[in-house]
Structure 1
Amino acid sequence: MNNAGCGPTWRLQGWGALAWGALLMALWLLWLLELAPRGPPAPQPAITILIWHWPFADRSPELPSDTCARYGMAHCRLSTNRSLLASADVVVFHHRELETQQSLLPLAQRPPGQPWVWASMESPSHTHGLSHFRGIFNWVLSYRRDSDIFVPYGCLEPRLGPSPALPAKSGLAAWVVSNFQARQRRAGLYRQLAPHLRVDVFGRANGRPLCADCLLPTVARYRFYLSFENSQHRDYITEKFWRNALVAGAVPVVLGPPRATYEAFAPPDAFVHVDDFGSARELAAFLTGMNESRYRRFFAWRDRLRVRLLADWRERFCTICARYPHLPRGHVYEDLEGWFQD
């Protein structure tokens, strides 16, 4: 977000002749410098990012030399070749493989001063074993806005063309859930909503799984989608909001971080937040009693904005190169668990 503020107002009135002369002389010298012949710019060295173990995979995808250039980041090279450990500019470790011990930290072979990145897009509720990594990692890549490398699940960017038509609606509310656990807050809220709101539930948890290409067309038929996160933590807004609801063309009913956090990412009238209601009954009454005019106001943002999903780990890792010149050297997370569980 840009910081609003007023810069200095430069005024020319009151300058004496001496000041004007100095200014003209400076401009003339700059013009001469522009005319001077220049050699070719010095080539910028590529930043090599070594991914120690590709997330959730036994084999990494193909990583051609122009991988990061495809995401607008030149001079950036991704590799999973562990023989590059001694020469890599940055080494990235994804937490799940460390947690399950599919991957071990090469502490004995670590070159002095080499930055190591801890990467995870999971919430603290589903991240364990961080106490083992005190004083090891220099930077963090995650969905948290205060991460060294901030990578959200999605964002809104300016729309260049006309917005697509809103899908026709035949149902009121849908929810896709595969990992249903009674102790989760979303499960309790659903149980409170169910007597007052017709919710069609899909996913493995309900014995109605959807194929990968079936989810969006299915959700698109509904006016609302329950974008309930599996746990509530700072900045934790996942594809349940970005893809399952906004991309599909349904209004997200969100359970996650506070409303102010969602408003940092999306217009305040683009979603319904459960915290705005005193009870599940009140929320259900709001959703069921909404007229068409009020409903369509939830999509005003689509005229000027579009959703951009950041789900590809290649793009996430390439983002390190964009941040690399600005990241603190010598910084170490002495208590990574304390920081992430905050």
Structure 2
Amino acid sequence: MDTTNKNVSKIKKQKPFKVHWFNVPEHINLNNLKTWLSQCSTPCTYTTAVTSDIVIFDGDTLPPDPPFKKSNPNQIWVFHEMESPPITASKSWRGESWSNKFNRSMSYRVDSDLFIPYGSYNKRLQPLKKNITAIMKQKTKLAAIFSSHCGIPSKREIYINLLRQYIPVDFYGHCGNLTCRKSTETQKACYATTEKTYKFYLAFENTFCKDYATEKFFRSEAQDLVTVVRGGADYSKLSPEKNYIDTKDFTSVKELASYLKYLDKNETAYTEILKRKWKYDVNHPEYGFSDMENISQKQAICDLCSKAGLWMKERKVYENIASWYEKDICHAPTDIH
């Protein structure tokens, strides 16, 4: 019998791995999740049974104690979280009752067993060609930021107020002086207007934590403006080229402002950054981890299925998930001066 046919036969006969998400986050569409699992090359199916092969627990709403015991030694418990440690609502993962319970991790952290970035880059066969003159003609304002979480660990508002001493920054959201309504269509319109009107978007994160770069960064990278980042991620590992400006490359807020002023006056230098961006298609969710619509996130779900067999053979347990999740992972800002 042909070897290829044997392999195909094995795949067809392979019993689907059963996946259950104990506390599905509100922003994840369960119907979409079921569909994506059914479309994975490694057979997988979603169930409501706590005896499933894989059980996912979301850290943000993790209960104080495990809600049930593992159905068998091979069952895989996965810790999932897409927010940074200081921002998660629940801190139950710190409790002793969760010690030695999780087998695998699934998050934005590069060192997760299953890495789920908020976005991804794909190099185009040919860079996009756009009308630079038309793009630049519409850009009548300098910088903007959208933010609705105030008083957060990164001291974002303080940094912006310092920056405002040197350049104009339009601050949208609850923490700023401008508003953009929360409806999806209005948000899309706001972001579209921002892309056309502003030269820079400030993708400032709410915390300085390892690998934490959210949709703010990736959405801006997909737009015809220059992204200014401020956070704890190593953006050079996320972006294939230096298509952005990192605040940590400057010794002070004033120095950053001076550089933005330089780019504002030097159209050639500014558009060179845009041209580098046009070499890539940047995939990203529109608004956070909404409906898991990001291609990289869909792929991660299928990776979960493809790795399930190996995970069951190579047993692993996090002795203390809190230690992995937050110990020496975040730090206070050092650039407020």
Q: Which amino acid aligns with 1:208?
A: T
Equivalent residue for 1:275?
A: 248
The one-character-per-residue Cα deviations of 1:239-276 (angstroms, maximum 9, x if unpaired) are: 11001x11232211111125xx1111114420111111
Q: What residue in structure 1 maps to residue 161 of structure 2?
A: 191
Deviation string, structure 1 residues 159-183 (Cα, Å, up to 9, x no partner)? 2565263644221100001112176
Contact 1:175–1:226 under 8 Å retained in 2: yes
Contact 1:76–1:318, Cα closer than 8 Å, also in 2: no
What is residue 144 of structure 2 aligned with on the other side? Answer: 174
- Aligned AA (1:224): F
**Residue range with higher mean Cα deviation, 155-164 or 173-182:** 155-164
For residue 64 of structure 1, report the CA deviation from its aligned partner: 7.9
Aligned equivalent of 1:155: 120
2:44 counterpart of 1:77: yes
Amino acid at match of 2:206: N
| Counterpart amino acid of residue 141 in structure 1 | M
Matched, 1:50 2:20: yes
Whether the 8 Å contact between 2:100 and 2:318 is mirrored in structure 1 is yes
2:270 match: 295
Q: SS at 1:106's partner residue?
A: coil
1:124 aligned onto 2:100: no
Name the % identity: 27
Q: Classify 1:172/1:139 alpha carbon distance in 2 versus 1 (closer, same or farther; 3 Å).
A: same
The aligned runs of 1:1-342 (5 Å cut-off) are 41-42=9-10, 43=12, 44-56=14-26, 61-63=30-32, 66-68=35-37, 73-79=40-46, 81-82=47-48, 84-86=49-51, 88-98=52-62, 105-108=66-69, 110-127=71-88, 128-132=91-95, 133-160=98-125, 163=128, 165=130, 167=135, 168-181=138-151, 184-206=154-176, 208-210=179-181, 211-220=186-195, 221-243=197-219, 245-257=220-232, 261-290=234-263, 291-309=266-284, 311=289, 312-313=291-292, 315=298, 316-327=300-311, 329-342=314-327
Please, what TM-score do these two structures have when normalized by structure 1?
A: 0.78
Which residue identity does 2:156 align to in structure 1? R
State the SS of the aligned residue for 1:135.
Answer: coil
Amino acid across the alignment from 1:197: I
Tell me how far apart the structure 2 counterparts of residues 267 and 109 of structure 1 sit (CA, whole Å): 41
Contact 1:65 1:77 in 2 (8 A): no
Is the Cα contact below 8 Å between 1:179 and 1:205 reproduced in 2?
yes
Q: Which of the pair has more CA radius of gyration?
A: 1
Deviation at residue 78 of structure 1 after TM alignment: 4.4
Once the two structures are TM-superposed, the CA of residue 320 in structure 1 deviates from its matched residue by 1.0
Q: Secondary structure at the match of 1:107?
A: coil
- Matches of 2:56 and 2:143, distance apart in 1: 40
What is the CA-CA distance between 1:300 and the residue it aligns to? 3.0
Aligned-residue RMSD, C-alpha: 2.7
Counterpart AA for 1:337: A
CA distance in 2, matches of 1:263, 1:325: 33
Unmatched runs of 5 consecutive residues or more in structure 1: 1-32
TM-score, normalised by the number of residues in structure 2? 0.79
Distance 1:65 1:185, change over 3 A: closer
Deviation at 1:150, TM superposition (A): 0.4
Alpha-carbon distance in 2 for matches of 1:141, 1:215 = 32
SS where residue 175 of structure 2 aligns? helix
Q: CA deviation at 1:323?
A: 3.2
Q: 1:149 to 1:187 in 2, by over 3 A?
A: same
Change (3 A) 1:217 1:256: same
